[in-house]
Amino acid sequence: MGGLSRLGRHLRLGAVAYGVLLISLLITALAWFYVHDTVKTQNAVRFDETVRATQAAVERRTDDYLDAMFGARGLVLASDNVERSEWEEYVKGVEPVQRLGGLQALAYAERVEPSEREDFVRRMEEDGLPGLRPGLDPGGERSVYFPVRLAAPADEANRDLFGRDAYVDTLSRAAMDQARNSGEPRATEMTYLLAEAAPDSRADLELRQGFMVYLPVYGEGEPTGSVAERREALRGFVVGAFRRDGLLDAVFGGGFDPAIDFEVYAGQDMESDDLLYDADGIKRAGVAGYDHLFTKERSIEVAGREWSLYFATLEGFEEDGQSNLPLFVLATGIGVSLFLFGVSWMLVRSRLRAERASEDLEDANRELEGTNRELEAFSYSVSHDLRAPLRTIDGFSQILSEDYSERLDDEGLDYLARVRTASRHMAELIDDLLDLSRVGRRPLTRERVDLSALAAGIAEDLKTAEPDRDVGFEIEDGVVARCDVGLLKVALENLIGNAWKFTSRESRATIRFGASGGAFFVSDDGAGFDAAYKDKLFGAFQRLHGPEEFEGTGIGLATVARIVHRHGGEVWAEGAVGEGATFYFTLGGRDRPAEEAPAKKRELA
């Protein structure tokens, strides 16, 4: 019983401290949940944006391939007899190697009736090309022929296409019939194409996986309203031969997110259909054993066939998505909670000592009992009515310091000051972290902005806030840039506000803003900094001065760096201890001042 009694007395006496601890931990839990949910949402948005952008890039690439075929059809329709040189010049113009990787050949298969077969063979042989392959069926003439008359690029592998009649092949015949009847390009299933061998191969040519696309060419002016009319009007096919390798390799220009796997399949069944592209060379679609944060499947139609797109996050995706921020908020919140608990407990102990010292005085006892009742009422309010915890902790601490300062000793007042400082610092830190996060998310809208006017407005606000300070501002007129006015105002508020803060110990100070040597600048003649540590200036939570010297959270210059980088610019600083500091920044491209950048060496953030 004695142990329980002591425990009950301990809990009763420390109710306020434990109440503060409980509320602080609750705030920490809420903040962690909010930040964790925000990071998860940001990751989901980043993944969805990557999926949409990737699908759009693939569709643009396939449209480029088909546009090249439609252009070739236009060339055929514009001439009664396209020469080989004309065809090769057109194919060279579409840049099959540099722009359309994976395009093995662009050819034209001409419709040849049985009565025209011998004349076609003769013309091809006169040009030194194969006549007709395969030859006649054992039973005699075929009902119609579609031998290739034109093909480019003119390499050894594509030479094999001349005179070849793909209509006898089952896969090609099905695609050609669909294209002829629909009037649209149609692709075959995956097959093998003859192509030049890899550099390390002993052979000159080799078979590679790919597919063929057939685009029908109808007679100029002939009716094509029905299937029967299209069959009658058919003159031939523009043929596109596409290799699997290189088909989508250059789609993203090296900009695809390395923490997301991307696979393309020719068909709906990703477990059994042919793989067209794999971003990292490791098949994951339909394979058990992978634990992905996000996955998504999409499908697109390419020349009458359905392609399946598969996306999945890899291990590094969460690391790229600021996954340590929730842990940081949780650890910081627990640390602050324990600190507030310790301060509150020390306050309780101070109160108890005051009660013991005044036990012999009845009047003082009554006053102390009243004070205790008020403190208990305050504790009840803290425990049950607190909704804005950090502000409430700061507010009640202010009440104690103002209304009960005569009843608390210096140590108690010092503890109250620490509580207020800690709560304000945590509120500022959370606000600055959210501001830093918003800077990266909000859309950037460029417009012509008068930076001189912005700087003058900020200077006027600072002088109004502290009219007793003797600080002169020298702001160059006519400094303009194309930038986001909201973001640049935040950046200038941080830079000019820093100059104002770090000149606070000077009896007379000067702050300058202008443009020089291809960059904008803010300079002061205040405390300055040690140049050996200038590479730390623009990192989050990095401070070169202690809190007892100058207040701050270490987020302001990190926010400036992020804003400048979003504009495609650079930011750096020069200074020395006791000699002031100068911060330079550019905004990228056309938004630099007209002068050339200085030749002196700069340390960029």
- Beta strands 581-585 and 191-196, pairing class: unpaired
Asked if pLDDT for residue 597 goes beyond 50, the answer is: no
DSSP three-state, residue 281: coil
Measured CA distances, 93 to 86, 242, 377 (Å):
11, 17, 85
Read off the tokens for 91.
Answer: 């194919």
Within 183-323, where are the H helices? 227-233, 317-320
Round to whole Å and give the CA distance between 510 and 499.
Answer: 9
Cβ 215 vs Cβ 185: under 8 Å: yes
Asked if pLDDT for residue 188 goes beyond 60, the answer is: yes
pLDDT digits (tens, 9 = 90+) for 100-120: 888 889 999 999 999 898 898
Max CA distance (Å), the chain: 131
Higher pLDDT, 388 or 288: 288
426 backbone dihedrals φ, ψ, rounded to 5° = -65, -40
Angle between helices 324-357 and 410-441 (to 10 degrees): 160
- Residue ranges of E strands in 359-494: 447-450, 471-475, 480-483
Asked if pLDDT for residue 321 goes beyond 60, the answer is: no
Read off the tokens for 380.
Answer: 């009840």
Q: Smallest Cα–Cα separation from 274: which of 421, 171, 139, 205?
A: 171
Round to whole Å and give the CA distance between 209 and 254.
Answer: 24
> For residue 586, how many other CB atoms are within 10 A of its CB?
22
H or E segment to which residue 88 belongs = helix 84-93
Asked if pLDDT for residue 512 goes beyond 90, the answer is: yes
pLDDT digits (tens, 9 = 90+) for 196-249: 887 777 788 888 888 999 999 998 888 888 999 999 999 999 999 998 887 777
- Beta strands 305-313 and 260-266, pairing class: antiparallel
243 backbone dihedrals φ, ψ, rounded to 5° = -85, 150
Cβ 131 vs Cβ 124: under 8 Å: yes
Angle between helices 556-566 and 485-502 (to 10 degrees): 150
pLDDT given at position 543: 58
Read off the tokens for 96.
Answer: 């099959």
The separation between the first and the last C-alpha atoms of the chain, rounded to the nearest angstrom, is 65
Please, which residues have CB within 8 angstroms of residue 260's CB and are 6 or more apart in sequence?
Answer: 47, 50, 279, 311, 312, 313, 314, 317
Round to whole Å and give the CA distance between 259 and 252.
Answer: 14
Q: What is the DSSP letter of 534?
A: G
Q: What angle do CA 247, 252, 256 make, to 5 degrees?
A: 120
Domains and CATH numbers, the chain: 2-41+323-438 (no CATH), 79-243 (3.30.450.350), 257-320 (no CATH), 443-591 (3.30.565.10)
Cβ 279 vs Cβ 262: under 8 Å: yes
Please, which residues have CB within 8 angstroms of residue 410's CB and are 6 or more apart in sequence?
Answer: none
Q: What angle do CA 337, 420, 416 make, to 5 degrees?
A: 95
Most confident of the following: 45-49, 301-305, 591-595: 301-305
Q: What angle do CA 466, 467, 468 make, to 5 degrees?
A: 95
Residue 453 C-beta-side C-alpha neighbours within 13 Å: 7
- Residue ranges of E strands in 415-564: 447-450, 471-475, 480-483, 509-516, 519-524
Asked if pLDDT for residue 256 goes beyond 70, the answer is: no
Q: Smallest Cα–Cα separation from 437: which of 7, 38, 2?
A: 38
Asked if pLDDT for residue 599 goes beyond 70, the answer is: no
pLDDT digits (tens, 9 = 90+) for 293-311: 888 888 899 998 898 888 8
Cβ 556 vs Cβ 500: under 8 Å: no
> For residue 546, how many other CB atoms are within 10 A of its CB?
7
pLDDT digits (tens, 9 = 90+) for 344-392: 778 777 777 766 676 566 665 566 565 545 534 433 343 333 335 666 6
